[in-house]
Chains A and B, each alone.
Chain A
Amino acid sequence: MLRLLLFRRCLSTATKKLVVPEKIHRSPTSILETLNSCVELEGQNPHYVYIDDPFLIPTVGYEKRSLALSKASGKKAARWIIDKYSYAFQNDVAQPSIPSFLPNYTFKETEFIEPDESTIYKLINWNKLIQAYEMYKKCRDDNIEISDTCKFALFDLLCIHNSQDPMQQLLPEEDWYRREVNESGVAKKTWKENGITEQFFEELKKLSPNNNRVYNSIVCGMLKHLQCEKALEIIAEMKENNIKLNIVTYNWLLRSVSSIKENYNARWEYILDILNEMKTHGIRPNLKCFNSILYTLRRSPLSEHNPTLALSIVNEMRTLNIKPSLGTWSHVIMIFYPNDHIGSDTTILQQIMDEVQKQYEENGKHLEWIDSDDSEFFSNAMWKATTSCRDIDLAKCIHRFLLMGTNARFMPDSFKEMSYYNNFFKLLFRIDIPDNVMPYWESLVPNVYSPSHQVIEEFLDFVSNWDLKDYFVRIWSDMVMLGLMDEKNAAQSRRLLERYLQLLTRSNVTDDTTDRQQQYANVGRTILKRFPLIRHEETDTDNDIAQQSSERGRESSRNSLKKDQPFQYNGNLISYLILLLSRGNDFDGSWHLYNFYQNNREFLINPLTDVSLMALLSLCVQQKDTDKSIEVIQTIGELSYECLPQAIGLLNENVKLNAKSRSNLKQIQNESKIEAAKDVKIL
């Protein structure tokens, strides 16, 4: 038995065979990629450029911008120092050497005395194209041999960069705000006429006639910088000499059709001509090609055939087995919804979202950035979901897709992100119920998104429509945190404040608990602390000083003009505040406000409202302060409000009046225009 067992054991070990698994080849960064796939974007923390510290985390929109840009400017300052004292930074201990930690290369005079091909390459590498061209000319004059590859490389770069040195790459912080740093607005013709590129082109034409590459490069460059007429002339010349256009040139041509032809039908026919030409030359279209066609279609917004054409193009892509990129879909969206009214009856956006998500799943939960137009997708989709479709589920679907995986990198700059979230919240406020909206608000504001005045106003509308009393107090702190309650833009702050106070005072006293009334009164006191009441005499003296100083010199007057105007109250605001404070039983505070109003009556627009005066009066009566009560009643009488009889009645019933105050009251009664007031019997 034992033997048998032993035998079996031997047998089993004998049959087991060690299989060495095949080595999986991995890239040097595969560990990092795997780690990266484990983390998910939470989407509510401050951006990583900001230091995680309450003092250093910005909440206001413009602060976010200024802090990120100041970090970038610090880096630039360091870069300047590094380049200026480059000898101090030459010690290279890194293995392998990291070029971006080394100072920029400074060219020595001796290098230019006897230039050769390597000097030109070096200059190209350090982005000095114009100098490289000069070196090339010098070489040509000195009869130094330069290879064709070098010439063509230089020529290509000059074409792309329009006879200029290429712009230095922006730092990531600046890149995020690039729309504000260097404006890239409407497409304009920027090609430099008779620049060095064209001179170079003429020269190369003589040196190597009928060269494919040279002709294609210059046409691409011209079309990129929208010099279409000349580009068309050169294309005609190419056709005469039987020079073939390549796919890149065709793509640029397709993209700039809208600036070549005016008429929509002519544009489409021209596109068909180009495509037929490509077919005869046996050039297979690629993704960029289709995107360019769609781009052109989008530029002819009100053509009726556009949607059908766009769909047929997408179908054509399917038959050619080309996967559409996000840019393609972005163009399709814009073609289907050219303005707010057209296309709302179609469900194309929903279909596109399904398609994109399917593509994302098939592609291993990752989307490639293939085309330069891909960056527009999310902001366009959200824009159209808001203005045309008005479909809340669709908008949420888009937002969920944005937060998936690494999709957030398709948001290219702050401007697009801002418009994306503006649209998203506008739609949420308009359609959805509070239980769904508030989680989004809590998670995105203020770290990811700082809403503007407009959006906050819509938020106020939303809160007041749904009567979300829990949020009434919070809105104030939100507004302060978002920098909307600022003396810098007093007019907007005042408008917002008025709406907010209207919201707080809208409800009746009986609706709210005393706790809440106390909270509102606290808000009122903080408002007064933030924007202190300033007597108008004082501001006048300020102005006088400013005038005097302006006589003294321009500089000082500029300073005084820069000084912010103090926040100016008006009757409405003050009456809201009186109402808040008197409901919170703060007699001193509300009386102080009333006094302020009485003293500055000439300067403040809008009178006090009857509701606030009545609230104040009832508080006075509670305090048994007859004189003050009579003063308030007098004001009511002067403003001839309908509530005068009630006011007199209130005082009459609750306080025992002496002879003097009785006569005062009678006088008010006699002077008032309201008949009912005269009927009240004074006891």
Chain B
Amino acid sequence: MNTICNRINILSNASTSHCIFITQRFFQTSPILNSWFTKLTNVSQVNTEAATPKHTRRKNYPLTYEQRQFPNMIGHTKTWNTFNTSNLKDGKRKSETLTDDLFIRQFIYGTWHNLFASELIIKRRHNMIILSGLVTRTIHPRRMYFLIGYTEEILSALLKCPVKLEIQTVESKDDVIFTYW
């Protein structure tokens, strides 16, 4: 833990693009928020809020609906990206749920490479985990079904509970652009 803190301190001081790349690798859990968005929402800079981007100079950086609704809007115009009951009173497995979620996001980011056009939504119902999100139609449905079967089986073997994928498809990533920032 100590070493990670150290690393973050070092990175917060550094400003070269190389180091930003490394921060991405550390904080990056979502498939769509790669590249520029991390720069816009980089907490390592002074006087910035988490996940609230600054305008780019030309105001031409595309944001999805979910990104445009900043964290203060959660519960008003957007909902949570993960649904579970562990943070209610007497909820169980608080930390485990969090780490599982992080792991699932990383796994989907790697397995469905460059396919998800939205954030992954993780819903936990009873003992079941339901993953949903928007996927682009860049690969053949056959491959998509292969990935669905693979993801479901391997995640359920890792997390020891049934995992289901309920995805929807969009033509391209441009379809989910809500605004330019």
Query: Using a CB–CB distance below 8 Å, which chain A residues touch chain B?
Result: 51-56, 58, 63, 66-68, 70-75, 77-79, 81-82, 88-89, 91-94, 97-98, 101-103
Contact = CB atoms under 8 A, between A and B. Distances in A.
B154 A82 contact: yes
B149 A56 contact: no
Contacts, number: 83
Contacts of A102: 157
A75 B150 contact: yes
Interface stretch (B52-60, B64-72, B136-144): B136-144
Contacts of B165: 51
Contact of A51 (B142, B148, B153, B154): B148
Nearest to B144: A56
A82 B158 CA distance: 9
A104 to B, nearest CB: 11
B174 interface: no
A79 B153 contact: yes
B157 A78 contact: yes
Indicate the member of A74, A89, A101 with the most B CB atoms within 10 Å: A74
Given A55-B141, A56-B145, A92 B153 contact: no
A98 B160 contact: yes
Contacts of A68: 145
Contact of A66 (B142, B148, B158): B142
B101 interface: no
A97 B161 CA distance: 10
A52 B165 CA distance: 11
Contacts of B49: none
Contacts of B142: 66-67, 70
B156 A101 contact: yes
Given A53-B169, A55-B169, A81-B154, A71 B146 contact: yes
B158 to A, nearest CB: 6
Contacts of A78: 149-154, 157
Given A74-B145, A88-B158, A103-B157, 13 more contacts: A55-B169, A70-B143, A73-B146, A73-B149, A74-B149, A74-B150, A74-B151, A75-B150, A77-B146, A77-B150, A78-B152, A78-B154, A81-B154
A81 B96 CA distance: 24
B153 to A, nearest CB: 3
Q: Is the interface of A mostly helix, strand, loop or mixed?
A: helix
B153 A55 contact: no
A58 B157 contact: no
Which of B157, B165, B168, B169 has the largest number of chain A CB atoms within 10 A? B157
A81 B111 CA distance: 14
A594 B166 CA distance: 51
The 6 A-B residue pairs whose C-beta atoms are closest, nearest first, are A74-B149, A78-B153, A74-B150, A71-B149, A94-B160, A74-B146
A89 B157 CA distance: 7
Given A51-B167, A53-B168, A67-B141, A92 B160 contact: yes
Nearest to B168: A53
Interface residues of B, number: 27
B92 to A, nearest CB: 11
Interface in B109-165: 137, 141-154, 156-161, 165
A506 B13 CA distance: 81
Contact of B149 (A75, A97, A101): A75
A56 B165 CA distance: 13
B98 to A, nearest CB: 14
A532 B162 CA distance: 49
A11 B135 CA distance: 72
A89 B166 CA distance: 24
B157 A56 contact: no
B164 to A, nearest CB: 10
A56 B154 contact: no
A221 to B, nearest CB: 34
A75 B153 contact: yes
Contacts of B154: 78, 81-82
Nearest to A63: B141
Nearest to A58: B141
A94 B161 contact: yes
A74 B168 contact: no
Contacts of B146: 70-71, 73-74, 77
A101 B160 contact: yes
Nearest to B134: A53
Contacts of B137: 55
8 contacts: A51-B148, A51-B167, A72-B149, A74-B153, A75-B153, A78-B149, A78-B151, A78-B157
A70 B142 CA distance: 6
Given A53-B169, A55-B141, A66-B142, A74 B157 contact: no
A51 to B, nearest CB: 6
Q: Name, among A56, A73, A91, the residue most crowded by chain B CB atoms within 10 Å (CB to CB).
A: A56
A89 B169 contact: no
B10 to A, nearest CB: 31
A169 to B, nearest CB: 14
Nearest to A55: B169
B158 A70 contact: no
A92 B160 CA distance: 7
Contacts of B160: 91-94, 97-98, 101
